[in-house]
Amino acid sequence: MNNSISASDLARAKELQLCILQHIDKFCKENQIAYQISYGTLLGAIRHQGFIPWDDDIDICMPRADYERFLATYKNSADSPFALTHFGINPKHIYAFAKLGLKHTKFVSSNANLADENNLYIDIFPFDAVSKNPLIARLTLWRSRVVTQLFTSRMSDKIFSDSTTFKGKFLLAIRKILHRLVQPISPTWLFKQIASPVKTHNSYYVGYLPEVRFSQLYPHSEVFPSRLYTFEHLSFPGAHDAHKVLTRQYGQYMELPPENQRYGHKPLVLDLGPWLTENPQY
């Protein structure tokens, strides 16, 4: 983390992210859109009843149909302090998922894409269904990872690695070559390959496909229907069986990691603008 960023500013950033989550929660309830807190946010709700102390973001997920409806229904407004961004409305958006951010803020992590918008934000991940057949499921995951990597390589304005090992340097060289090779491919075409819902008549698992292994896919019954969990003294929907979901994702999730592994996104720049002392209306 940038040592010039104060602990009080980081704490305030968490408060503002909670405001963004409350805004999303209100919008989803009004429009009957399903969502859940997920990943480290769900872990924080179970283990800490709020943010993981060293974490600095909020993640939510939506079933693919609800995710697409959210993107189609949510309208950015000049009068709103919030702004939704995704590739469909921002051709420089590098990610295969959407973000909802707070205007007039800046949160730049060490791995941020320079061309992308870097407001203080919440990540919104689409969850797709996957076949119960292990072979089909693994092929689906492989395809999703490959296409997403091609899209990311095509869109990235910088290719970097913090690794100093031979393997790290070798992989960095491969990524740089891939970045050059995919430039002739239309990013719109690549994104459509990612965003196309998985069509299967034997769906059993769900998950954010570009970033999970087969063992980390969630059986549908472990995720839905949602249950409410306490997060920073408020209630938000999460997985039906949080214990099974978190065990698949993190193993012994109630055990704290070693101190040298307790870190968040390490912001290089954090500017909260007018929201340092004011609360956005949601």
Q: Please report the pLDDT score of residue 251 as a whole number.
A: 93
CA–centroid distance for 147 within its chain? 18
Per-residue pLDDT of the chain (282 residues; tens, 9 = 90+): 455 678 899 899 999 999 999 999 999 999 999 999 999 999 999 999 999 998 888 999 999 999 999 999 999 999 999 999 999 999 888 889 999 999 999 988 765 554 455 889 999 999 999 888 899 889 989 999 989 988 888 887 655 555 567 777 777 787 778 778 888 888 888 888 886 655 554 678 899 999 888 988 999 999 999 999 999 999 999 999 999 999 999 999 999 989 888 887 777 888 999 999 888 987
pTM of the model: 0.88
Q: Please report the pLDDT score of residue 123 as a whole number.
A: 95
